[in-house]
Amino acid sequence: MTGLAMANWRRLDHNGTDRCTLSRLDHGWMLSGQAKWLEKEIETSLIYAVRCDEDWSTLSADVVGSRAGESIAIRIQRHASGWFLNDKPQRALDFARDIDLSFTPATNLLPLRRLSIDSPAPINVSAAWLVPELDELKPLDQSYARTGPEHFAYSSPGFAAELKVHASGFVLSYPGLWEGWVDA
């Protein structure tokens, strides 16, 4: 495993931080990180790992940690037969290629790495979204379009933002939610 870049973020909507490393594996990629935040007097601390194939498609994700003193252990898998959350089949995710962990900007890297460097044409993706309650995967349609050398227009139902993105694919600025930097 070879580390390529490390991103560090500060949450803007709550008191919190996130740190994630992008690593090259023999047959794909891995994001590994740790997110901590305080929201409505509830402390959450999570460690996550997302494994992808050579084409940046999600294979699996693990999330462990605690929220309000309760242990959390989540296993997400994507197989030819569909998506699974803690070994339970998840419906309506047949077209999802990416995982979107609601608590980190790290997983935006996956579709961003598939964007053509020279084309402003948007890509539309369907993600398996781990909801903020961390108990369900839902389909989330997303669109990314290059608007400048480091900028992308992002949209999903009910939300749109102009993202600033590092050459590694990590988001540097997610207005109102995250700001950060990358050590490459």
Q: 10 Å Cβ neighbour count for 11?
A: 22
Residue in 84, 169, 156 with CA at minimum distance from that of residue 127: 156
* Predicted TM-score of the model (pTM): 0.94
Greatest Cα pair distance, the chain, in angstroms, is 47
| Residue 106: strand, helix, or coil | helix
State residue 76's pLDDT score. Answer: 98
**Residue in the block written with tokens 């781990």:** 130
| Domain boundaries, position 72 | 2-183
Express each pLDDT in 166-175 by its tens digit.
Answer: 999 999 999 9
Q: Report the distance separating Cα 102 and Cα 129, nearest Å.
A: 7
Q: 10 Å Cβ neighbour count for 151?
A: 14
Number of domains in the chain: 1
**Residue in the block written with tokens 């047949």:** 94
Residues in the chain with pLDDT values less than 70: 1-3, 116-119
State residue 3's pLDDT score. Answer: 66
Half-sphere exposure of 81 (CA within 13 A, CB side): 6
